[in-house]
């Protein structure tokens, strides 16, 4: 067998099942061990400093710089007790990953070393902003950017380094990360939501968002992974014939977890628990070697930070097990890809989940106000929301027959849907009617709404699941912050308008309940096209969604154009989340990232075909040629007729594919070069998304056909059946 593949397979079979991160005792004993939470903080600083941090965490109060030195010293003491030697600001640049730059807790004076961690270093670091995606907001010659501590997320220790969750902004103040707009969107949402809740309850001052992020992923043996340059370079297989058996027997979902993976899971859970991540569930997913884990939901900023950490922890722990975690959205053709389901709800500072149907008519009126506002927001900005999941990786998955469709729709479940239908059929509630409470009769008639929890629709992009919405289209490797801040902002806009419309009706003399009901009805009616209860994968929905004017994400580069639409720019600006130049920067970055990633994939597929596939094909061609020649020597011309027609046929096919693949790789290089000459990034991205991608598909087809024709012993790359089954 080809040496490389054989070695990888041998190594893979020698990798055993062990535990490396074992903690004694129940989880409660070591949960949060590596996090400096408020409780621990009290022991390391004065009351004044502690209270300053507390105010900053609880109410977002600005931290007094005068106290920063003391807070930093306390943190350093704790961190050193825990064995840390370095600190870093940890931020989330526009790369879907995290960034860190470690500095030692040390200073030197007169040749002597002193432990040191200044308040100024806690509060602010200065990474070179030009080395991160900045969409033209920073030029290299004025590259300063700031990362600043975000006290709403606690500091923690990972691998001997004190990590300080931070925001990342340009010297001139523009956001260069996903956290700043997310914090701003929460502010906008809180204000707008409180103003709507105040129609029913005066005591509510603020709301927050809760998120539960389900994470899907694949696990592959490290040696096999390393033997495939495509997995190493791009996170997915750019060639590879499907395995005879993959997920068709539906035997993997919720199946017994392979023991090697089980030990790995227990190990990464242990490490995650120490970081205070509330991991709750683990199970096999649909595709072979695909799994899922989910934490208990919590405050959205924390949930996002923790999901980012979880992805790092999983990959680090996997190394010890000689495993690789694949977070790519579509690592293997022909089997399901991986997503990250975002369970999203809004809760008041008094602890009420605003997406939970109430027990009384008024509570239901409040619930309906929020539900209607979310519906309207998702309807109005459906394409923008979908564009937040339009990444190269996700483009291989969305709109297939597995992941959510590439078009937005909201699933409510039959109970709620019927409520909405009757609300829409209601005539406008008039003042006279409102006196006998006709307006809320409908609400009265359903004193308690029990949405059917089993009434799940897994083909919907945005599904209501009883007390929250589940946005199911986010890609497995993405930072969900972008989808979340777009959703928050859109909902904030709708809620603001909701309140304004109710106020206007009240000012015109309408009773509050009637006014609210009228606006609910108006919002639901306006947004009716976004509601869909059927099968989101069906042809019927594809046609129906087009008829309703809902745009599907067909092409990633095209989807980004939504950032140029006035409605988008106005939304972000009006809600104080992103200024127009920040939106433009994001547009540039999205296109650039798309082009760069696709460029890497195109190069990798070219290399693999020229350096691995064609040489293997030629070797096998020679074997066939020798065989045919030998048969001819023995049997003469009769050999062609009777004894080697199948070898000749195979030889012809191989020769055809070899020729085709080499000319297609050439054409692929040309397509890339041509696209690279296009100055405007958005146009370049479009050329990549069409011409380059089309050529890649062609190349792959020949390579995958060759894989089926060539002697298995000679094929140099681990095959799907080897990668996908433990
Ligand atoms: P399923 O796969 O059936 O959707 P999981 O248990 O895997 O369910 O994940 C559901 C996620 O939703 C969990 O992270 C859970 O904590 C979260 N969740 C539950 N209630 C809420 C809520 N009110 N707000 C936000 N997330 C929630
Ligand atoms: Mg789940």
Pick the atom of ligand 1 nearest to 356's CA: 23
347, 355 in Cβ contact below 8 A? no
What tens digit of pLDDT does each residue of 551-587 get?
999 999 999 999 999 999 999 999 999 999 999 999 9
Closest residue CA from atom 24 of ligand 1: 345
CA pair distance 135, 94, nearest whole angstrom: 10
Closest CA to 395 of 688, 698, 677, 703: 688
Q: Taking residues 322-335, report their average pLDDT.
A: 96
Burial class, 608, CB count within 10 angstroms (exposed 0-12 / middle 13-18 / buried 19+): buried
- What Rg value do the Cα atoms of the chain yield, rounded? 29
For residue 89, the cross-strand partners are 164
- Only one residue has tokens 């078009």, namely 407
**Concatenated DSSP letters of 256-314:** PPPHHHHHHHHHHHHHHHHTT--EEEEEE-SSTTEEEEEEPPEEHHHHHHHHHHHHHHH
User: Which of 714, 712, 617, 611 has the alpha carbon at shortest distance from 243?
Assistant: 712
Pair of tokens at residue 275: 């970081």
Cβ of 299 below 6 Å from ligand 1? no
Q: Which of 302, 241, 244 is nearest to 277 (CA)?
A: 302
Distance 624 CA to ligand 2 centre (A): 51
CATH 1.20.120.1560 domain span(s) along the chain: 593-723
Higher per-residue confidence, 633 vs 447: 633
SS3 148: strand
Q: Ligand 2 centroid vs 469 CA: distance in angstroms?
A: 14
Report the candidate in 461, 462, 230 with the shortest Cα–Cα distance to residue 328.
230
**What pLDDT, on a 0 to 100 scale, did the predictor assign at position 141?**
47
The CA distance from 531 to 417, in Å, is: 8
Indicate whether residue 718 lines ligand 1 (CB < 6 A): no
Q: 593-723: what fold?
A: 1.20.120
| Structure-block tokens of residue 596 | 């760069």
Closest ligand, as measured to the CA of 468: 1
| Ligand 1 neighbourhood includes 294 CB (under 6 angstroms) | yes
Q: What is the mean pLDDT of residues 113-123?
A: 90
3-state SS assignment for residue 109: strand
Task: Quickly name the fold that domain 35-81+84-177 has.
Answer: Ubiquitin-like (UB roll) (3.10.20)
- Cα 240 from Cα 705, distance rounded (Å): 9
pLDDT (mean) for 146-168? 91
Cβ contacts of residue 46 below 8 Å, gap of 6+?
A: 70
Q: Answer whether residue 434 shows pLDDT above 90.
A: no
Q: 140-147 contacts: CB < 8 A, separation 24 or more?
A: 142/171, 144/170, 144/171, 145/169, 145/170, 145/171, 145/176, 146/170, 146/171, 147/89, 147/91
pLDDT of residue 143: 62
Q: In this predicted structure, what is the pLDDT of residue 438?
A: 43
Please determine, for residue 458, whether its predicted confidence score (pLDDT) is greater than 70: yes
pLDDT attached to residue 449: 66
Given the CA of residue 467, which atom of ligand 1 is nearest to it?
23
pLDDT value of residue 132 = 76
Is 186-578 in CATH node 3.40.50.300?
no
φ/ψ of 459, rounded to 5, equals -100, 5
Strand pairing of 86-91 and 161-170? parallel
Which residue among 214, 348, 484 has the greatest number of ligand 1 atoms within 8 angstroms of its CB, and so is best to mutate?
Answer: 214
Q: Distance, CA 715 to ligand 1 centroid (Å)?
A: 44
Per residue in 293-321, pLDDT tens? 999 999 999 999 999 999 999 999 999 99
Q: How far is the CA of 622 from the centre of ligand 1 (A)?
A: 58
CA geometry: angle 655, 658, 661, nearest 5 deg:
145
- What is d(CA 376, CA 215) in angstroms, rounded to the nearest whole number? 28
Q: How far is CA 103 from CA 86, 92, 144, 161, 164, in A?
A: 5, 18, 18, 9, 12
Residue 140 has pLDDT above 50, yes or no: no
| Separation between Cα atoms, residue 250 and residue 381, nearest integer Å | 36
* Ligand 1 near 212 CB (within 6 A): yes
* CB of residue 286 inside a 6 A radius of ligand 1: no
Classify 549 in phi/psi space as left (phi over 0), alpha (psi -120 to 50) or beta.
left
Calculate mean pLDDT across residues 705-726: 95
Residue to probe by mutation, ligand 1, list 280, 338, 468, 472, most atoms within 8 Å of CB: 468
Asked if residue 339 has its Cβ within 6 Å of ligand 1, the reply is no
* 467 ligand 1 Cβ < 6 A: yes
| Among the ranges given (229-243, 470-484, 559-573, 628-642), the one the predictor scored with the smallest mean pLDDT | 628-642
pLDDT at residue 142, as a whole number: 58
419, pLDDT greater than 90: no
The answer to whether the CB of 208 is under 6 A from ligand 1 is: no
**Cα 128 to Cα 168: distance, rounded to the nearest angstrom:** 11
> What is the pLDDT averaged over residues 632-648?
89
What sign does the dihedral 244-394-687-544 (CA atoms) show? positive
pLDDT tier for residue 375 given thresholds of 50, 70 and 90: very high
| Nearest atom in ligand 1 to 355's CA | 23
Distances (CA, A) of 608 to 19, 93, 699, 720: 36, 31, 11, 16
Cβ–Cβ under 8 Å, residues 235 and 328? yes
pLDDT at 664 over 60: yes
Residues of the chain with CATH 3.30.590.10: 186-578
Give CA separation, 193 vs 374, 488, 497, 618, 670, in Å.
11, 10, 11, 67, 53
Residue 447 has pLDDT above 90, yes or no: no
**For residues 450-456, average pLDDT:** 62
Contact 321, 456 (CB under 8 A): no
> Which conformational region is residue 426 in: left (phi greater than 0), alpha (psi within -120 to 50 degrees), or beta?
beta
How close is the Cα of 309 to the center of ligand 1, in Å? 19
Mean pLDDT score of the chain, rounded to an integer? 91
Atom of ligand 1 nearest to the CA of 212: 14
Q: What is the pLDDT of residue 454?
A: 54
Residues of the chain with CATH 3.10.20.70: 35-81+84-177
Token code pair at residue 690? 């069409």
Phi and psi angles of residue 116, each rounded to the nearest 5 degrees, phi first: -155, 135
User: What's residue 451's pLDDT?
Assistant: 65
pLDDT given for residue 437 in this prediction: 42
Q: Whose CA is nearest to atom 13 of ligand 1?
A: 212
**Of the candidates 518, 533, 529, 532, which has an alpha carbon nearest to the alpha carbon of residue 423?**
518
Question: pLDDT per residue over 213-266, tens digit each?
Answer: 999 999 999 999 999 999 999 999 999 999 888 888 788 787 888 999 999 999
pLDDT tier, 426 (very low <50, low <70, confident <90, very high otherwise):
confident
Query: How far apart are the CA of 328 and the centre of ligand 1, in A?
Result: 22
C-alpha angle 573/578/584, rounded to 5°? 100
The CA-atom distances, in angstroms, between 466 and each of 280, 353, 413, 416, 725 are 19, 11, 9, 10, 36
Question: Cα(535) to centroid of ligand 2, in Å?
Answer: 19
CA–CA distance, 327 with 315 (Å, rounded to integer): 9
User: What SS3 state is found at 473?
Assistant: coil
């Amino acid at each position: 067998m080809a040496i490389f593949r054989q070695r990888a397979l041998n190594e893979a079979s020698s990798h055993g099942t062990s535990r490396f991160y074992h903690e004694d005792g129940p989880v409660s004993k070591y949960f949060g061990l590596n996090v400096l939470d408020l409780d621990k903080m009290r022991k390391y600083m004065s009351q004044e400093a502690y209270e300053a941090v507390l105010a900053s965490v609880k109410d977002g109060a600005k931290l007094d710089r005068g106290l920063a030195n003391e807070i930093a010293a306390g943190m350093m003491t704790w961190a050193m007790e825990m064995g840390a030697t370095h600190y870093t600001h940890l931020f989330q640049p526009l790369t879907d990953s995290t960034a860190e730059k470690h500095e030692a807790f040390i200073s030197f004076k007169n040749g002597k070393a002193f432990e040191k961690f200044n308040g100024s270093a806690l509060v602010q670091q200065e990474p070179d902003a030009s080395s991160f995606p900045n969409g033209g907001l920073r030029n290299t010659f004025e590259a300063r950017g700031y990362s600043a501590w975000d006290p709403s997320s606690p500091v923690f220790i990972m691998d001997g380094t004190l990590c300080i969750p931070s925001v990342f902004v340009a010297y001139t103040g523009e956001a260069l990360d996903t956290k700043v707009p997310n914090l701003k969107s929460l502010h906008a949402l809180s204000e707008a939501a409180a103003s709507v809740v105040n129609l029913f309850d005066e005591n509510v001052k603020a709301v927050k968002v809760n998120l539960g992020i389900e994470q899907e992923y694949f696990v592959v043996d490290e040696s096999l992974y390393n033997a495939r340059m495509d997995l190493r370079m791009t996170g997915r297989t750019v060639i590879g014939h499907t395995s005879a058996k993959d997920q068709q027997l539906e035997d993997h979902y919720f199946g017994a977890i392979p023991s090697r993976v089980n030990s790995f899971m227990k190990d990464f859970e242990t490490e995650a628990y120490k970081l205070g991540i509330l991991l709750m569930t683990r199970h096999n997913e649909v595709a072979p070697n695909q799994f899922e884990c989910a934490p208990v939901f919590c405050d959205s900023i924390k949930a996002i930070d923790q999901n980012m950490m979880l992805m790092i922890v999983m990959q680090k722990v996997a190394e010890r097990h000689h495993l690789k975690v694949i977070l790519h959205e579509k690592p293997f053709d022909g089997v399901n890809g991986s997503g990250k389901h975002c369970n999203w709800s809004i809760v008041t500072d008094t602890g009420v989940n605003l997406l939970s149907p109430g027990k009384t008519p008024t509570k239901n009126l409040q619930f309906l106000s929020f539900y209607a506002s979310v519906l309207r927001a998702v309807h109005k900005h459906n394409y923008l929301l979908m564009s937040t999941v339009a990444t190269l990786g996700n483009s291989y998955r969305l709109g297939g027959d597995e992941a959510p469709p590439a078009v937005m729709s909201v699933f409510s479940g039959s109970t709620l849907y019927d409520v909405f239908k009757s609300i829409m059929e209601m005539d406008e509630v008039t003042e006279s009617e409102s006196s006998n409470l006709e307006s809320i009769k409908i609400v009265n008639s359903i004193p308690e709404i029990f949405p059917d929890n089993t009434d799940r629709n897994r083909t919907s992009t945005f599904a209501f699941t009883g007390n929250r919405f589940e946005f199911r289209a986010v890609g497995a490797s993405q930072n969900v912050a972008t989808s979340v801040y777009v959703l928050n902002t859109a909902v904030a806009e709708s809620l603001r308008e909701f309140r304004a419309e109710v106020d206007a009706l009240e000012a015109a003399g309408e009773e509050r309940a009637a006014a609210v009901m009228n606006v609910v009805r108006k919002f639901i009616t306006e947004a009716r096209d976004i509601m869909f209860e059927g099968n989101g994968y069906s042809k019927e929905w594809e046609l129906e969604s087009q008829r309703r004017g809902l745009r599907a994400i067909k092409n990633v580069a095209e989807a980004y154009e939504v950032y140029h639409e006035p409605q988008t720019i106005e939304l972000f600006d009006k809600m104080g989340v992103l200024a127009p130049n920040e939106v433009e920067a994001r547009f540039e970055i999205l296109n650039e990232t798309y082009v760069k990633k696709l460029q890497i994939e195109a190069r990798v597929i070219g290399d693999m075909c020229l350096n691995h596939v064609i040489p293997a094909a030629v070797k096998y061609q020679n074997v066939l040629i020798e065989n045919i020649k030998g048969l001819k020597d023995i049997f003469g011309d009769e050999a062609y007729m009777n004894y080697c027609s199948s070898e000749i046929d195979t030889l012809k096919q191989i020769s055809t594919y070899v020729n085709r693949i080499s000319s297609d790789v050439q054409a692929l290089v040309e397509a890339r070069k041509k696209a690279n000459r296009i100055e405007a990034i958005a146009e370049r991205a479009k050329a990549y998304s069409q011409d380059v991608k089309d050529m890649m598909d062609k190349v792959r087809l020949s390579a995958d056909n060759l894989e089926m024709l060539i002697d298995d012993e000679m094929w140099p790359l681990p095959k799907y059946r080897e990668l996908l089954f433990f």
